[in-house]
Amino acid sequence: MGKSTIKLCYRKIIDSSATKPWDKFVLEDSYAEFRLQVQNFAQVKQYPSFAELVHEVPEAKKINQMVGPAITGYIQQLNEVVPDILNNLGRRFIKFKTYHFEIINSHFDQREKHQVAVSFFSEPMIWYGTIDNYLLLAPFGQETGEVLTHMMQLQPYLSIYSITEMA
């Protein structure tokens, strides 16, 4: 088969069940920022739920972007490596430079309703093939000779975001 260049997307969901320090920081700080920023919309008194607020005041969608800078510091602490997703040797290996933050649900008065997602978009990798439900991947830049690879299991919230067929 032909090789393809792919970018992966891992959509990391974080909610009140989070146990890991990074996840908890992101959840806490994005909630604190949400409560600050949502007050730019006076209607929040009437519609404390984020979904309702966006339904009534579509412009409130931009709260997603307004809250994003609350977690920039935590993104930088990842040192450009996607969290959670491991190769079959148990190591994180996916490099990223871009991400997207979004609020899935939230509520001005109910902290436990706060749920966010951070989607990480990988740097391009070469997809050599699929073995069982493992993708055989290699980072760019080692096109000649022996190519060092990673095997990664398909799993929920992980997807091939884009693909470019190689000649």
Partner 1 sequence: MERKNFLKSLLVGSVSSSILLQACKKDADVTTTSTSTSGTTTGTTTGTSGSGTCSVIQTETDGPYPTKAPASYVRSDITDGRSGYKMTVSIAITNYNDNCNAVANALVDIWHCDAEGNYSEYGGSGSQSTNYQSVHFLRGRQTTNSAGVVTFTSIFPGWYTGRATHIHVHIYNASGTSLKVTQIAFPEGSGTALAAVGGYSKGFSGYTYNASDNVFSDGTSLEMASVTGNTTDGFALSIVMAVPA
Contacts with partner 1, residue ranges (CB under 8 A): 1-2, 4, 12, 17, 19-22, 25, 29, 32-33, 35-36, 39-40, 62, 65-66, 68-70, 72-80, 83-86, 88-92, 96-101, 119, 121, 127, 129-130, 132-133, 153-157
Alpha helices in 6-164 (DSSP H): 21-37, 50-56, 63-67, 72-77
Which residue, 28 or 52, has its beta carbon nearer to partner 1? 28
Contact yes or no for 105/145 (Cβ under 8 A): no
Q: How far is the CB of 156 from partner 1 (least distance, A)?
A: 6
Nearer to partner 1, 51 or 75 (CB): 75
Of the candidates 60, 74, 72, 73, the one whose C-alpha atom is nearest the C-alpha of residue 103 is 60
Q: Which of 160, 144, 167 is nearest to 6 (CA)?
A: 160
Measured from the CB of residue 52, what is the shortest distance to partner 1 in angstroms? 19
